[in-house]
Chain A
Amino acid sequence: MRQSNKLSSIPESYYKRRRWAKAAWVYSALLLIATITLGTFLIAFMASLKDNALSEPTNFNFAQVRPSNWVSSMQLGLGGNQAPFFGGFSPGAELTFSVTYAVTNDQTFSIPVIKIPRRRPGTGMAATLTTDFAADYALVSEPKIIERNDNVSYIFKRGIKNESKQGKSVTWQFSIRYLGDGPVIDTVPLDITTPREQVLINSSLDPSRFERRGRVASWVNVSPGVIGYVFRSYVRVWNESVSLETGKSMFLSWTYNSFIIALAKVLLTVFIACSAGYALARMNFSGVRSIFLLMIFSMTIPGQVTFISNYEIFNKLGLLNTPWAVITMLVASGQVLIMKQFFEKFPKELEEAALVDGASPIAILWHVFLPLAKPALASIIILGFQGAWNDFFWPMVVLTSPADIYTLPVGLLSLRNAYGVAGDWSLILAGSFLTTIPVLIVFIIFQKHFTGNNIGTAVKG
């Protein structure tokens, strides 16, 4: 019997190592879940930077993340408008641009045809009203050869087919000058046309797209500045969603509306929840039971059951398409319940002293209970703010026109309808992210108060 190989007792280190290993697994699992929750947004954010968010969805090495493009866009922005971040094109500007083309050894080079097209800078309403075009003020110089290379290997793209080729390359350089005097222009588009066999293998800035099956390399803006280049979708979504009457950015209006409505609703909720919660909890008056039952009942019935009648009420009052229709349509049953349950926990002695002194219940509420209610108040304030900010159904029903009275979620819907048809996913993603910034900021600041109090919104999704 090989007793000597078996252990007589289990060492302490056995258990210790296992506890350590279990902790490692737990942390790994938590990290995996965190990766899934945060990673999704990271991926969507990266996609919002791309020129075309649907091309090669799993490829994250695209033009906007390459540092060489950052440097170039900064230089070009400096050259165009002394503005390395947002670029532009102003009087006296000179942009230097170079492009490298390759052909096989038995072909000859053709001089690229370089043109600044007279094209509006985007699809939104603001773009259609543009009156200043770079084409009217720009002069393109003749391209000069600055480099030759007799041995290059490159890839010739035939649609989705890639053919590797050997050949020679030539680099041309040209400049774009602002002639005379005039306004500062935001975008300088550029088109360079060559025969199909002549392939663009390098350029100061990666082209935004290739058109005419590879014959034309097209840049949306050759003087973008770093921010204008990397975050182009965001700049576009911000600039193009503009109200035609006031010229103000709609995103600003939407954020402002959401904020004002959320603030007003929270104030109203706190007022109603505290007074009603206290009364239902501490005061035994006739009718308490029925109000309580009605309140619970109202929490189970969805908003769609009551919306027509409420809609008609606001219609008759002429309050449709105003923030008041959203603010005052408030049945704060959930918050009243929270305050009621919170107030119930306190012992009777708390108010008995004050009652003996002859204080009215309102004074008791104000002086005794409210100061103690801070945790619960924090809870309903956060819940209320978040609920009001993210509310979708009712604002969509009552806020229809004009577009700058929308709240952020309804604005997102209109953005999706406007750009979804064009398949402009980068814009839609950029818009989504822009609307999440305020909530994220609030969340990061008030993080502690969110936990555990978030049941309602957490569970419905």
Chain B
Amino acid sequence: MKSLLPIAIVLVLATAYGLWYQRSRGKVVVKSDKGLITQEMIGALLGSRVTLVQFSSAFCSPCRATRMLLEDVTAEMSDVAYVEIDAEANLELVRTLDTGTLLLFTYVVSSY
């Protein structure tokens, strides 16, 4: 049947992309640039030990759950700060840090 060919093509391509997406998310990228993220850039105080900087957007479904988790985890740690940044309102910063097309991108900034 000729008409089933587009369905097959779409499902194969989508599955390939979906598998790639699942594998690539949550990947840790280590950058050692000192002063990559400063207090002025994020408009908030950095934690004395570690700062978690999360980039979110209104149309990002995992962002909300991640925010709740990170807020919860960091609430009891006085030396760890959590900062959420609206990617849409800070496109300049998104481009500077090159977060790619990822909607949800969390930076872990060490103060040491």
Do they bind each other? no
Residues of chain B touching chain A, judged by Cβ–Cβ distance below 8 Å, are: none
- A positions within 8 Å CB-CB of B: none
